[in-house]
Structure 1
């Protein structure tokens, strides 16, 4: 996924158009926000004008009643401005938070439906950045971006209009420093825009590194790589720090420069206004008003630069989010079949490659009849796990056809297909949640009674009840509080409560002790009863009763038959069997 904004343009209309689509459910509130901001902008010149009238009127004439009246009017205007500011801040924040909630939901829904190949190619840390940091940036777009920029521009136009209407000479003097302000603002905007892209990339890299290395912390410690990984982290963190400091430096330079330019404008007004006052060409109230006009005029210019950068950040983040939302890296679900499966599996001339170049499966053909068990054996990388990934359509085949009950698996509804295939993997993943929720995975149609019945059949119910809170026990992240065998047994319960017609076992007993293996073997026998089973195992002793054993090597089928037939052939399988038999004797 590209980390760069292709246009680099604040007004990327295609991206802005998509951004406004997210606003559509809240368009009434958005219009109210725009109206409130515009009203607030229209009131900006009010106080300087009232000050002018007060000084030139009641103050000059000594009219205390008129002075009190003008004070009340100014207090009323200030209260109204404060109320508008409150509504503006609250409504912009409310709008931003609701929109980013909606976008985050859409984005997460998209992510969980992406095919596994996408996750093979995309660091998880970058997806975290998209889902958290990039979406948070959008909240500022609505609170300090689009509507606020429109308000600032209207405020500038109104102030300039009022200033020229009041005194065109003082207006020209006051605005003579605008070119300096515009030049400095443009330079600041461009510099910060570049630094922002660097910061976002640094954040994504930092997230990816931290996520990956915390997940693999056991490996880091096993190989005493703490110092090496620490140095890598320091280097990546330094890049992140330097990128942020560069951005801070631009802000540190710009704001003092802007203040100096504004002060220069004020000084010119005081100098020129004083000369005019001495010549009785302008009133004291007018000069005072212009000093105030300069302050409120340069403030939105300074804010515009910041808000333009906020909008730029939002455009970059929105562009990245849209790319993810528009990604076509998902498994097409055009199938309509939801018929009851019997479990007959048929691979016909299947070719498959993860990277479109190097095939890991080459012309694979085999058939498993309903209720039969087929086992796959072979060296690591032979293509065993790829077969089960293809059966559940986690990946799409390049050539050939996979059928279940004589129907191409692409013609089945994807959800229905996966519901009928129960998978038990060697590396069991448990969420930081209760045992019950890890078994049901949120499926409310599975009752506690069904869970207990399945757990008793597997032989794990007594163990679960010995835990604090039983089925409500939180297993922590990845099931850290349970042993490998315990996690494996829970995965069998998880598969059994789904009542699948096809069961897939991938190295289900390769990482457990003998006692736990016996429990698991009993669970496997129960799970396979009456179901079509596809088994992948390194331990040949666990698959000797399989109806058919298929030997894979470098993505090709080398031999197939039952245990006795393959031993008689004295080929690949027989060699594997003799090697394991020798290991067992040792």
Structure 2
């Protein structure tokens, strides 16, 4: 499905609210566009309308005007059967009005010579005596028009007020819909992150993932709130203006219709040159976020190795590239927005006025009244407001489409659904059957690996860096799946068990423990309601954390900042260890859990392990071989293959690789 269709599919979920908003938008546009029609009526009917044939009527006529002892009423105001005689004409010549004591057949091209008015239409010329009206006399003829002008003025104000109210309503409803769409999209993106395999995060920096969740989704929100709303408003407004233009004059409407192909060419030109730049801008913004995230996490290393200047230089280069791309886009926007719109507006205005002048010179001005000209020019001026608004949104539209493409790319990544439900606690028998695994599909890090860990056993994995120790744990937790072979837990193939169910009865302590913002207690329970406060405190006491954390002012409720930065490495490790034990796992994994702990803390953990390993299968990845002397089984790995296996005493008697490693650590054999 295309990006545009997917964006529309999200909007369709709130179609009722959006349709109501569109209806309110149409009413708002109709109310706003009614103004020029009202102004046309005010001009043609009540302001210039007195230039008509009047009739002498009795003094009691409803809209009679007194003039030099006689009463006159406009011909179009005469009621059916109302008595009237002697037609006269009011005519404006220059800036003065004249009273002509007869009915003129036409009023084109009037001129005044003394007390006579001459009008011409083609080859015909008519000259009649005329009386110049004083200001007081002219106002008397306008007096019957005042109530009508007031009514139309009130109607104009009500249209403005109604248009503003409907505009507020449609904007409010569109904002609500847009924020609901954004809320749903962010929820789906965040849920997708929980579904994605670990492999995805190995190749994409965390900053780029964060950029897609925040910046890109925010750009999509702008699409619904600003871009879609403004473009929809522009299209409806343009359609309404064109309808109004054709009602006023089909000929002038057809002339203004030529703007549409110009606008289409305008949009095609913009997209041709701007799409690539927008893609570049979004990618650079993602790179900037990734670098900022990496820099914040690596501040101690950057400062320790005096890399601050070099890091600043790298950021400045990236920022400068982003700036240059923005300037390129700005040039395109500047060239295709207000400047071009202003040229087109002035050209069309000049064309309409020239056509009106030509028709006036050739005696066809009656077909276009001054009120119509005013309304048409008003509509033409208004037409370019949505045109400019539409073009100005092209940049935001392309940015939103690029951002949506990046977000949808994330949502389309294959992943595993989070499965609800429970699984009975298994005994913890683990069997690897001829397991082969590769991260990249080319180089195997585990090769035909087979071993069995019985329930309650402690299995130690040792070997140099890259030998495959952590890969075994990654496969056991189903962070990855084996390329070949099977892994069984209590005889069940783990690929047939939902990962969430499998991990429900597993616990892990990493070499670099991760603590969340909260308290020590909340980091142990991780907000799981099934883990009581008493259980949390018992787990902390079992690992000896009460001795190392007792000096904290708030005890187990001591606040923990991001990554546990205010705690020592040993304290963080103990909290992580207590977290694993609080969940009472059937399988416990210690991934070099004692490598960053001092001797005293290690002794505390070793004392706790002797009790806590009972009833659960424990895997230990250790560089300190002294910590695994009591292991039931030690697997010595090299290049993804088990080269030795047995207990500590058996391997020492074998005097093979394990023996050499142990002696090196004890200092008995020189390196």
User: TM-score under structure 2 normalisation?
Assistant: 0.81
* CA–CA separation in structure 1 for the residues paired with 2:292 and 2:657: 43
* CA–CA separation in structure 2 for the residues paired with 1:299 and 1:82: 17
Per the alignment, residue 369 of structure 2 pairs with 283
* CA–CA separation in structure 2 for the residues paired with 1:543 and 1:229: 42
Match for residue 326 of structure 1 among 412, 416, 423: 412
Per the alignment, residue 631 of structure 2 pairs with 546
TM-fit CA distance, 1:331: 4.3
Structure 1 residue 144 corresponds to structure 2 residue 226: yes
Match for residue 166 of structure 1 among 248, 253, 256: 248
Query: 8 Å contact 2:664–2:670 — kept in the other structure?
Result: no
Match for residue 228 of structure 1 among 310, 320, 325: 310
Per the alignment, residue 557 of structure 1 pairs with 642
Number of residue pairs aligned between Structure 1 and Structure 2: 573
Structure 1 residue 88 corresponds to structure 2 residue 170: yes
Per the alignment, residue 204 of structure 1 pairs with 286
Structure 1 residue 50 corresponds to structure 2 residue 135: no
Larger displacement relative to structure 2 (574-583 or 474-483): 574-583
TM-fit CA distance, 1:369: 1.0
Per-residue deviation, residues 488-527 of structure 1 (Å, max 9, x unmatched): 0001110111000111111111112111221222233333
* CA–CA separation in structure 1 for the residues paired with 2:421 and 2:17: 41
Structure 1 residue 26 corresponds to structure 2 residue 26: no
Per the alignment, residue 6 of structure 1 pairs with none
Per-residue deviation, residues 67-105 of structure 1 (Å, max 9, x unmatched): 111100100100011011101211111111111011101
Greater relative contact order structure (CA < 8 Å, 6+ sep):
1
TM alignment of 1:433-582, pairs within 5 A: 433-582=518-667
* CA–CA separation in structure 2 for the residues paired with 1:236 and 1:195: 15
Counting strand residues as a fraction of each chain, which structure ranks higher?
2
User: TM-score under structure 1 normalisation?
Assistant: 0.92
Q: Structure 1 residues 236, 52: CA separation in 2 closer, same or farther (over 3 Å shift)?
A: same
Query: 8 Å contact 1:492–1:523 — kept in the other structure?
Result: no
* CA–CA separation in structure 1 for the residues paired with 2:606 and 2:420: 36
* CA–CA separation in structure 1 for the residues paired with 2:43 and 2:669: 104
Query: 8 Å contact 1:170–1:273 — kept in the other structure?
Result: no
Q: Structure 1 residues 509, 405: CA separation in 2 closer, same or farther (over 3 Å shift)?
A: same
TM alignment of 1:347-386, pairs within 5 A: 347-386=432-471
TM alignment of 1:71-470, pairs within 5 A: 71-146=153-228, 148-171=230-253, 174=256, 180-254=262-336, 255-276=338-359, 279=363, 280-281=365-366, 282-328=368-414, 330-331=415-416, 338-470=423-555
Query: 8 Å contact 1:192–1:247 — kept in the other structure?
Result: yes
Per the alignment, residue 7 of structure 1 pairs with none
Query: 8 Å contact 1:502–1:532 — kept in the other structure?
Result: yes
Q: Structure 1 residues 337, 406: CA separation in 2 closer, same or farther (over 3 Å shift)?
A: farther
* CA–CA separation in structure 1 for the residues paired with 2:429 and 2:420: 18
Structure 1 residue 59 corresponds to structure 2 residue 142: no
Name the SS for the 1:445 alignment partner: coil
TM-fit CA distance, 1:584: 10
* Unpaired stretches in structure 2, ≥5 consecutive residues: 51-141
Query: 8 Å contact 2:282–2:399 — kept in the other structure?
Result: no
Query: 8 Å contact 1:33–1:88 — kept in the other structure?
Result: yes
Name the SS for the 1:466 alignment partner: coil
Query: 8 Å contact 1:346–1:368 — kept in the other structure?
Result: yes
* CA–CA separation in structure 2 for the residues paired with 1:14 and 1:180: 27
TM-fit CA distance, 1:483: 0.5
TM-fit CA distance, 1:308: 4.4
Query: 8 Å contact 2:636–2:644 — kept in the other structure?
Result: yes
Name the SS for the 1:43 alignment partner: helix
CA RMSD of aligned residues (A): 2.4
Q: Which has the larger radius of gyration?
A: 2
Q: Structure 1 residues 248, 583: CA separation in 2 closer, same or farther (over 3 Å shift)?
A: farther
Larger displacement relative to structure 2 (270-279 or 549-558): 270-279
* CA–CA separation in structure 2 for the residues paired with 1:405 and 1:35: 63
* Unpaired stretches in structure 1, ≥5 consecutive residues: 1-12
Per the alignment, residue 36 of structure 1 pairs with 24
